[in-house]
Amino acid sequence: MPEDHSEIGAAFLLTQLGTHAATRFAERVSALGLTPPQTGMLRMIGGTPGLSQQALAQALGMAPSKIVAFVDELEARGLVRRSRSVRDRRVHELTLTDQGQELMGRIRELAAEHEADFCQPLDADEREQLAGLLRRIAEHHGLAPGVHPGYRSLR
């Protein structure tokens, strides 16, 4: 095993740090009684009000049948509302309730704290430098802004 990180490449460090960042974020949102997928779902619905469960499934890479249970839960907690579309009565349009919007605000606060804590060893310039490099890689690989691919199956 390597004695320090100096011989380890950027891609491996990224996997390692990415997992770590995800775990820390999960800890934070668990204080709100949420899991990261639920958080992502709320963010997605907040950003695209009225989207269907199919569209949500597509966007998050989850099976539609799995969406059902998630939305059930969020609806039961008064965070999300299902309403039948008037155009196509098969689809359920999803929106955040007022309570859901409010919670979304708190999630944003947590995310900012998370961001600050995680990048603590870097100064402002360096953070922007890092974010810039990462953005270029993300765009190069065609990753959708704001959605990460971790909600599907991954071994």
Partner DNA sequence: TATTGTTATACTCTATAACTATA
Partner DNA sequence: TATAGTTATAGAGTATAACAATA
**DSSP-assigned beta bridge partners for residue 96:** 80
Q: Which does 9 bind (CB under 5 to 8 A by kind): a copy of itself, DNA, none?
A: a copy of itself
In angstroms, the Cα distances linking 33 to 41, 94, 107 are: 14, 20, 11
53 binds DNA (CB under 7 A): yes
Site track for a copy of itself across 51-90, x = CB under 8 A:
----------------------------------------
Q: Which does 125 bind (CB under 5 to 8 A by kind): DNA, a copy of itself, none?
A: none
Site track for DNA across 87-106, x = CB under 7 A:
-xxxxx--------------
4 binds DNA (CB under 7 A): no
State the amino acid at position 38 in one-letter form.
Q
11 binds a copy of itself (CB under 8 A): yes
120 binds DNA (CB under 7 A): no
Q: How far is 96 from 74, CA to CA, in rounded Å?
A: 10
134 binds a copy of itself (CB under 8 A): yes
In angstroms, the Cα distances linking 76 to 39, 70, 97 are: 15, 10, 12
C-alpha of 138 from chain center? 15
CB of 5 to a copy of itself, least distance (A): 4
Report the largest interatomic distance among the alpha carbons of the chain, rounded to a whole angstrom: 63
Is residue 80 packed enough to be buried (19+ CB in 10 Å), middle (13-18) or exposed (0-12)? buried
31 binds a copy of itself (CB under 8 A): no
Q: Interface residues with DNA (CB under 7 A)?
A: 52-55, 57, 63-69, 71-72, 82, 88-92, 152-153
